[in-house]
Amino acid sequence: MNFSLPPQTGRWSRVVLQTSEGPTKGVSMHRLFHAGFLSVLFLFAGIGSLQAQQINVTGRVTSVDDHGALPGVSVFVKGTQTGTVTDADGRYTISVPSPSSVLVISFIGYKTTEVPVDGRSTVDVSIESDITQLGEVVVTAFGIAQEKKALVSATQEVAGKDLALSKETNLVDALNAKVAGVNITRQGGSAGAASSIVIRGFSSVNGENQPLFVVDGVPINNAYRTTARGSSVDAPNRAIDINPNDIETINVLKGPAATALYGIQAGSGVVIITTKKGKRSDDKNVSVNFSSNYSMDKIMRNFPANMRFGQGDGSVYNTTTFSHFGPPITTLRYDGTDLNPADPRGRIVDMNDPTAIADARVIPVNNQDKFYQIGKTWDNNLSLSGGNKNSTFYLSLGNYSQDGIIPNNEYDRTSLKVTAETSLHDKFKIAGSATYVYSTSTRFGRGDNLSDVIQGTVRTPPTFDNSAGYVYPLTGAQRQFRAQPDNPFWTINFNPYKDEVNRIIGYVQATYDPTSWLNIMYRVGTDVASDKRNQQWAKGSTGGDGTPGGRVLQDVYNDRQINSDLIATATKTFGDFNVSLLVGHNYFTRSNGRQYIDGRNLLVPGLYNIGNTQESLVQIQNLETKKTAAVLSRLSVDYKNMLFLEMTGRNEWTSTLRSPNNSFFYGSGGLGFVFTEAFNMDDGVLSFGKLRGAYAEAGRDAAPYSDQTFYSSRSVVSGAWSTLSLRFPLAGSGIGSVDLSNTAGNPALRPERTKTMEFGTELKFLNNRIGLDVTYYRKLDVDQIILITTPGSTGFTNKRINAGEIENKGWEVVLNATPVQQNKFSWDITANFTRNRNMVLELPVDRIALAGFGNLRPLVKKGEPFSVFYGTAFLRDDKGNLIIDANGYPQRSPITADNPSGDLKIGDPNPDWLMGVRNTFSYSNLSLTFLWDFRKGGDVANITSNWQRATGVPDFTYDRNHMVVFNGVTADGSPNTKQVLINEAYYIGIGNRDIAERFVEDGSWIRLRDVSLSYGLPSSVVSKMKMKRLNVSLYGRNILLFTGYSNIDPETNFSGPNSSIGVDAFGTPTSRSYGVSLNATF
């Protein structure tokens, strides 16, 4: 055997051992060489010191990261040449000259540690890894760990401890402002509400724009489903079922080469979640960790609402109207009679009314303050981990319980997770994991609905107190300010929406190493869930989708998916080339079943059971299945640890397309070049430099049964919503029937194609004190599967075709820096920046409406960004001035032959750029960290304000009965000088009431996303409490918000995680939270 030592550069260079069988490379050979060479060295160096032996010291060296034994670790006696190395179990024996000797522990990739002997005969040591010596390792496709240095496309990893800083319910929210290229939006502020996550922009018109979620190599379901009827609630996305306390890391795969191996499910990116595994403790087999968090949530701010004017029209008090255009409240009095059953103080009359009591003034009621409560959240988690040399286990039990800011709005999640791994042989290992999640929630309607609590609160005039009672005691009838909407206190007590979820996620994995260069892995995983939903309206409900006689909806979803991976990986070294070839097979199947039933008119009040309903039964039963199979490969070549080539290929077969389009191939290729390694450029300033580039294509199939024209079952009920105008075979009979779908199947559908290229660089300066990662990308999605309108003469109204192109391109920047690093004090900065530009390049039609909100519509339109706002707009001249008509009011965009709707582009919800900046200050055991979230641009359609203006509810309608002059020009271009009266007629039907542009606002913000102050008690104190670690934290979320947006919070989206974004329509208010956290390890 011939060997050569590398130059002393302060870190180990690559060592190649030449044997008769050729070169061999790997960490194990490094450790073997290190241990063998030093053993010989220490043998001779220690002979002269044997006579001076006074104390024999034994011990064990382990890693702080996983508590595992470290073989081949150097153990020296400081100031001497006496030393040894640890054996395979990390144990050592060494003679020291005196009880005050100091041991020096050193090992490749770990920080050198000095430990005083202090007269002990046993000295066990745990040492920390040093990332400046070892390359950073990240988890990529199929759960395979790769050195980040070798990656050829962009990924970004977030550690579990960083996720925990936010203390979020939903792990999607926990990623907010932490990852470049990722845009996250909350649906609303309800307990357990959904959040959407979009990576590198919206890219599919009718497809899935949410990324694939993978837990420990198993794809999981992140479905978002709204409730059955229009009383929509803040429904969850199913990633909320994952307990963030079980997460070790999250790696977001954004680049093409990183996502290509996952196939059609990964067209919008991949979020890889690696959960915690078993670890051995320093002194016993089981380590116990307990954490408890408690927080209080307060509404961010109230909706802008009227507090000056009473219910009525034309400045006249009127209890039957929706409007707040009544007289000033200061002019109203109670008359003290018993003619008003809703208020014992009597009727409300004008102060000059003969029945008015002079000192019985009407005091305006802030119904929002009286309704919203202080929310409370408990999050408790207990975990145990341990094992021995061959096996490890991890067991966790967690409970998250949240009471929202809306009374009776609750979300509760209990999770149990078990993970185990064992080596049956030095070449064969099996592992498995199972997670059971049980969650329940109680939610209430929001949006354009007269039974939802948001409208019921905001639209109630300040002359009526909702909290004074919601039921008349004698009759049991509802107490409300008018026939509609429902009193919000009635709704939260009688009209809840409840769901109950049981879910199991798990896998079994076997790994076999037949030779030192070949690894074979088989893993089968499953995700099974039952989601039971129940929505009810009590008798006497008058708003929303309820009926006066009451109503019950029951909706049950049963989801199951199974994923199977067989992966073989061969790794060999040929001279200066290290080659890895991965080949594999994937099989995936998914089924989604639904049973829905709807009954009206309760026979017995208060018994919300389908069997207690008297009419209008509607029943739906669906089962949707999908299967895919694929063969795949990846070739990785490493030349001298400085030039990296990676190529992938995957052929997919899918059940949702017809032959020959159901089989399609795609692949990727990328290069990475570490130029600092190639040119020996480590001069102390530039520590590391790398260039990378990649190109990839991927496919995306159609929704199940898109290739077929199918029949649907219907229940024929006269006048019921579900009949869809169907009157066969017998109208009004309640007899079931079938109906041919209005959408024609298309057997010629092809898969959508995504073509992505990216270029990037990674730079590190000043011995890795500063790190910079910059990426430019361009993604083109072609052959979009789009639902278009067809002529009625075809017998159908819709058909799916392949057409359309959407482009996303932009920049991503990630910065890590440590400006200050001293003995006890450090300051760390992590920042990320995103700039994405989205454009619809081709469409088969002029426009596709994603949703409709009166005179405003989010559209997909050629030549415009995705989901751009179109609607009625102000008429302007060439200089942008408003054109004022002869009556003194702004004019709206005209209706022409070329533009029959008169709609123009009035906003773009896509932000100009996003940025997150985290600062962490640490002093000894005290740490302060806070995350700032910046968004520039991104319009918000304030539908809440738009819908309310005609009733005088928003506070901007205070400017009534005043003369104003609108800034603008008249038809001849001269400045407008005409005064007009701003009154009730102006807001409800004259002037710019029908101009939607007025209600599109800039959604920019600066937000203090989270802040945490933590203190770790000293080990001298903790050890006396029989603990290893004890940490106490104070934290907050959404503490500060700076925005010009007029409603509560521009971070909202009425439509949930789908294609329509930037719409605020009576959404549940967001909140700010303050909490305390305790974390103890035994």
**Model confidence over 624-668: pLDDT tens digits?**
999 999 999 999 999 998 999 999 999 999 999 999 999 999 999
Whether 190 contacts 234, CB under 8 Å: yes
- Segments in 902-958 forming alpha helices (H): 943-948
Check residue 616 and give its pLDDT. Answer: 67
Lookup: tokens for 740: 């041919």
Q: What is the pLDDT of residue 10?
A: 35
CA distance 489 to 493: 6
Rounded Cα distance between 157 and 138, Å, is: 7
pLDDT at 260 over 90: no
Left if phi > 0, otherwise alpha if psi is -120 to 50, otherwise beta: which for 394?
beta
Nearest Cα neighbor of 287 from 384, 382, 381, 380 is 384
Question: Which residue from 839, 863, 842, 838 is spatially nearest to 784, judged by alpha carbons?
Answer: 842
Can you tell me whether residue 274 is helix, strand or coil? Answer: strand
Selection from 107, 63, 101 nearest residue 82 by Cα: 101
Q: Which two tokens stand for residue 347?
A: 């009727």
Q: With 80 as the cut, is the pLDDT of residue 380 above it?
A: yes
Provide φ and ψ at 810, rounded to 5°.
175, -170
Residue 311 has pLDDT above 50, yes or no: yes
Instruction: Report how far residue 387's alpha carbon sits from residue 279's, in angstroms, rounded to the nearest whole number.
Output: 7
Nearest to 535 by CA among 591, 495, 583, 503: 495
pLDDT above 90 covers a percentage of the chain that reads 59
pLDDT at site 731 = 46
SS3 953: coil
Name which of 248, 270, 260, 249 is nearest 181 in CA terms. 270
Q: Which residue, 898, 782, 920, is CA-closest to 846?
A: 898
pLDDT classification of 9: cutoffs 50, 70, 90: very low
Beta strand pairing call for 1063-1064 and 939-942? parallel
Structure tokens at 1039: 């503490």
- Please check the confidence at residue 455 and state whether its pLDDT lies above 90: no
Alpha-carbon distance of 1018 to 481, in angstroms, equals: 60
Report the C-alpha gap between 1041 and 839 in whole angstroms.
Answer: 30
pLDDT band for position 188 (cuts 50, 70, 90)? confident
Of 89-98, 783-792, 1032-1041, highest mean pLDDT: 1032-1041
pLDDT, position 742: 87
Instruction: State the sign of the Cα–Cα–Cα–Cα dihedral 1038, 1042, 1048, 1050.
Output: negative
Q: Are 210 and 197 a contacting pair, CB within 8 Å?
A: yes
Name the token pair of 1038.
Answer: 């959404």
pLDDT class of 43 with cuts at 50, 70, 90: very low
Mean pLDDT of the chain: 86
Which of residues 691 and 265 earns the better pLDDT score? Answer: 691
Residue 892, token pair as written in the block = 């709206």
Percent pLDDT > 70 in the chain is 89
Res. 1078: pLDDT tops 60: yes
Q: Which of 278, 286, 213, 291 is nearest to 245 (CA)?
A: 291
- Cβ 483 vs Cβ 515: under 8 Å: no
Nearest to 501 by CA among 172, 246, 239: 239
Average pLDDT (392-399) is 96
Of residues 457 and 267, the one with the higher pLDDT is 457
> What is the CATH architecture assignment of 17-127?
Sandwich (2.60)
Q: Which two tokens stand for residue 987?
A: 């807001």
* End-to-end Cα distance, the chain: 48
Question: Which is nearest to 634 in space by CA: 565, 567, 701?
Answer: 567
Domain chopping of the chain, boundaries: 17-127
**Where residue 717 falls among pLDDT bands split at 50, 70, 90?**
very low
What confidence score (pLDDT) does residue 358 get?
A: 94
Among 298, 190, 195, 398, smallest CA distance to 1036 is for 298
Asked if pLDDT for residue 18 goes beyond 50, the answer is no
Checking if the pLDDT of 444 tops 70, the result is yes
CA distances from 736 to 283, 523, 614, 622, 715 (A): 69, 45, 17, 15, 4
Q: Mean pLDDT check: name the lowest of 104-108, 345-349, 898-902, 1077-1081.
A: 104-108
Q: Residue 37 above 70 pLDDT?
A: no
Q: Which two tokens stand for residue 578?
A: 């290290």
Q: Copy the structure tokens of residue 558.
A: 């049963």
Whole-structure pTM value: 0.85
Q: Is 33's pLDDT higher than 70?
A: no
Residue 825 has pLDDT above 60, yes or no: yes
Bridge partners (DSSP) listed for residue 624: 592
CB-neighbour burial class of residue 398 (10 A; exposed 0-12, middle 13-18, buried 19+): buried
pLDDT of residue 574: 92
The stretch 971-975 carries a mean pLDDT of 93
pLDDT of 720: 44
Q: Is the pLDDT of residue 713 over 80?
A: no
Query: Residue 725's pLDDT band (boundaries 50, 70, 90)?
Result: very low
Under 8 Å CB-to-CB from 386, ≥6 apart: which residues? 278, 279, 280, 281, 284, 285, 286, 287, 392, 393
Rg (CA), the chain: 33
Query: How far is it, in rounded angstroms, from Cα 763 to Cα 45?
Result: 42
Looking at the predicted structure, is the pLDDT value of residue 338 above 50?
A: yes
The amino acid sitting at 1052 is T
Mean pLDDT along residues 532-552: 85
389 in helix, strand or coil? Answer: coil
List Cβ neighbours of 879 (8 Å cut-off, separation of 6 or more). Answer: none
